[in-house]
């Protein structure tokens, strides 16, 4: 049944899309015809299908099929999802102030916002939500649980909690509040000369907060000679805040971004409107493959105007603009209405996707543009840094530890009953053997990329009639031997992840960021560049 509806929805979109080349009259006829077909189909299934169906879920299946046939950023936002949408745009929502993930069959608290309702009620990372207001929550998704936890401020919700290390479950009543999450959770000095500002999302007042952070650093450190602006992992947000953040570093009246779409009346050019905070201080902008949208506008703008040096990995590649349209019953449609172009004239949109993720576009397939100083930059496939730094790690074992939540679970168990640690600056995790023993007790296993490829080779060789049994067995033994050393080879990376997890539990997001800076190779590279004025200037001049 779902398959029938999904196919019909996609067919409807295809027919409407094909009619785009028709005359307006014929196009409107095709729209009305397909709407009538869809309505009749929906009615017939609800009336005569052999089993009872949920009308709302049935329609949601059809809506989701339509969305999937477009781009990954065009979405239907139902009434129950409005609080999540509000959080993405405003940095606030009504709820209890906790981040959760599904671990095994349980929605588990993984991080708390400082002094918010969940924190004040005594919840801790690692707590499993067993029931909500007496209704079973085991096996539910975080989205399903959050839809219940988010509600009007002042209302209460009762959670039944299972805490690792404690035999008895317990109940706790939490009063919902308006949760506001800082978009600049931390700024400070990396050493005597170099400042640091982290921006995690482009919600309201992002530009104001970045500007205030930079002013504070300069006021407290008049001899500061450079700043690291961290946009790693920042998935974007409001386009207007991308303009405001750019305005922190570039003067009034500079073009930041131009949007162009089907409805020409909506095409707009956004320029900086206010006075900058500092147009001279050297800036290194850190980006990675999870820096997207507004992050790419800001980093691309600073690159196009040769205002700062970009460092890290190529960004995500989202050069699309979304607008929201009210569609009744407190629901919205967030749809792509335009592409955006930064000052050099380039659009950084990735043109190829695989499973909803952008596919890397080779440089020889990207169109060249030039910055204000005449440096060559490329369109499509994200923003390429001026200084490319390899990822901290791509090791399969580390990815598996994260995906299986084993670092998180270890920290939960290791620090059970611990109420405090040394300051972030002084704390060191020095019991790596305890982690190794924990993995042994959990019978930890993982597949390397080589093993995955080897399994594919084994299937392909059997299909083609080749006998590679001995060769594959020998390779499997070699891989097995090397895997024994993988933990020790990645000890530094794993300890860094453990320490950041520990810091987040006792010092929240600010502590996690501060802890991460201590072992951050990209931060070391950025400091070295800002201390090398000749190299910094030569990069921006294109020499």
String of DSSP letters for 224-275: --EEEEE-TT---B-HHHHHHHHHHHS-TT-EEEEEEESSGGG-EEEE--S-
Catalytic residue among 293, 315, 344, 504: 293
Contacts of 66 (CB under 8 A, 6+ apart): 9, 10, 12, 13
Asked whether 157 and 147 are in contact (CB, 8 A), the reply is no
| Four-point Cα dihedral 428, 429, 431, 434, nearest 10 | 170
Active site includes 318?
yes
Asked whether 169 and 200 are in contact (CB, 8 A), the reply is no
Element (H, E) at 438: helix 432-441
DSSP annotation of 202 reads B
* Greatest pairwise CA separation for the chain in angstroms: 77
Burial of 401 (0-12, 13-18, 19+ CB in 10 A): buried
Asked whether 123 and 173 are in contact (CB, 8 A), the reply is no
Kindly provide the residue ranges of all beta strands, DSSP E only, lying in 355-472, ordered along the sequence.
357-358, 368-370, 376-378, 387-388
> Residue 328's beta-bridge partner residues?
none
Catalytic residue among 318, 332, 510, 512: 318
For the beta carbon of residue 155, count every other beta carbon within 10 angstroms.
11
Task: Please choose, from the candidates 284, 308, 281, 286, the residue with its C-alpha nearest in 3D space to the C-alpha of residue 221.
Answer: 281
Rg (CA), the chain: 26
Task: Please choose, from the candidates 445, 356, 456, the residue with its C-alpha nearest in 3D space to the C-alpha of residue 396.
Answer: 445
Catalytic residue among 304, 306, 409, 520: 304
**Angle, to 10 degrees, between the axis of helix 469-484 and the axis of helix 449-464?**
170
Contacts of 102 (CB under 8 A, 6+ apart): 108, 141, 142
Q: β-strands 128-132, 135-136: how paired?
A: antiparallel
> What's the Cα-to-Cα distance from 152 to each of 83, 93, 264, rounded to whole Å?
10, 10, 40
The residues assigned a catalytic role are 293, 304, 318
């Amino acid at each position: 049944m779902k398959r029938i509806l999904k196919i019909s929805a996609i067919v409807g979109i295809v027919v409407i899309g094909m009619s785009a080349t028709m005359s307006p009259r014929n196009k409107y006829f095709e729209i009305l015809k397909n709407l009538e077909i869809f309505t009749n189909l929906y009615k017939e299934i609800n009336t005569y299908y052999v089993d009872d169906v949920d009308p709302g879920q049935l329609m949601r299946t059809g809506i989701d099929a339509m969305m999937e046939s477009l781009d990954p950023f065009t979405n239907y936002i139902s009434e129950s999802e409005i609080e999540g949408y509000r959080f993405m745009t405003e940095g606030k929502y009504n709820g209890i102030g906790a981040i959760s993930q599904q671990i095994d069959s349980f929605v588990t608290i993984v991080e708390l916002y400082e002094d918010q309702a969940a924190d004040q009620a005594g919840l801790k990372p690692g707590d499993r939500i067993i029931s909500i207001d007496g209704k079973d929550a085991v096996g539910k998704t975080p989205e399903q649980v959050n839809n219940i936890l988010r509600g009007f401020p002042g209302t209460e919700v009762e959670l039944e909690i299972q805490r690792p290390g404690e035999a008895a479950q317990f109940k706790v009543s939490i009063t919902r509040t308006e949760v506001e999450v800082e978009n600049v959770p931390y700024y400070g000095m990396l050493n005597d000369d170099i400042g640091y500002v982290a921006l995690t999302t482009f919600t309201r007042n992002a530009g104001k907060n970045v500007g205030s952070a930079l002013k504070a650093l300069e006021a407290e450190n008049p001899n500061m000679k450079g700043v690291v602006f961290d946009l790693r992992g920042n998935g974007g947000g409001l386009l207007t805040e991308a303009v405001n953040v750019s305005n922190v570093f570039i003067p009034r009246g500079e073009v930041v971004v131009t949007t162009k779409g089907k409805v020409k009346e909506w095409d707009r050019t956004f320029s900086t409107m206010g006075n900058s905070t500092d147009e001279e201080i050297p800036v290194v902008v850190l980006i990675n493959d999870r820096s997207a949208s507004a992050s790419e506008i800001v980093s691309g703008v600073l690159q196009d105007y040769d205002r700062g040096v970009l460092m890290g990995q190529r960004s995500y590649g989202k050069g699309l603009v979304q607008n929201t349209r009210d569609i009744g019953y407190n629901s919205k449609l967030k749809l792509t209405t335009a592409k955006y172009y930064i000052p050099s004239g380039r659009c950084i949109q990735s043109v190829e996707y695989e499973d909803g993720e952008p596919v890397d576009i080779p440089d020889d397939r990207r169109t060249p543009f030039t910055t204000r100083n005449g440096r060559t930059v490329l369109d499509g496939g994200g923003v390429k840094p001026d200084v490319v730094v390899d990822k901290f790690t791509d090791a399969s074992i580390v990815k598996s530890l994260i995906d299986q939540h084993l670092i998180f679970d270890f920290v939960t168990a290791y620090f059970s009953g611990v109420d405090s640690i040394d300051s972030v600056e002084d704390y060191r995790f020095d019991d790596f053997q305890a982690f190794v023993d924990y993995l042994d007790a959990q019978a930890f296993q993982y597949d390397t990329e080589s093993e995955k490829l080897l399994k594919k080779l084994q299937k392909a060789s059997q299909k083609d009639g080749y006998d590679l049994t001995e060769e594959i067995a020998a390779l499997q033994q070699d891989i097995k031997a090397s895997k024994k050393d993988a933990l020790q080879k990645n000890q530094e990376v794993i300890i860094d992840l453990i320490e950041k997890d520990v810091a987040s539990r006792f010092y929240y997001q600010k502590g996690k960021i501060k802890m991460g800076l201590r072992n951050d190779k990209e931060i070391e590279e950025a400091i070295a560049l800002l201390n090398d004025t000749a190299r910094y200037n030569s990069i921006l001049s294109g020499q």
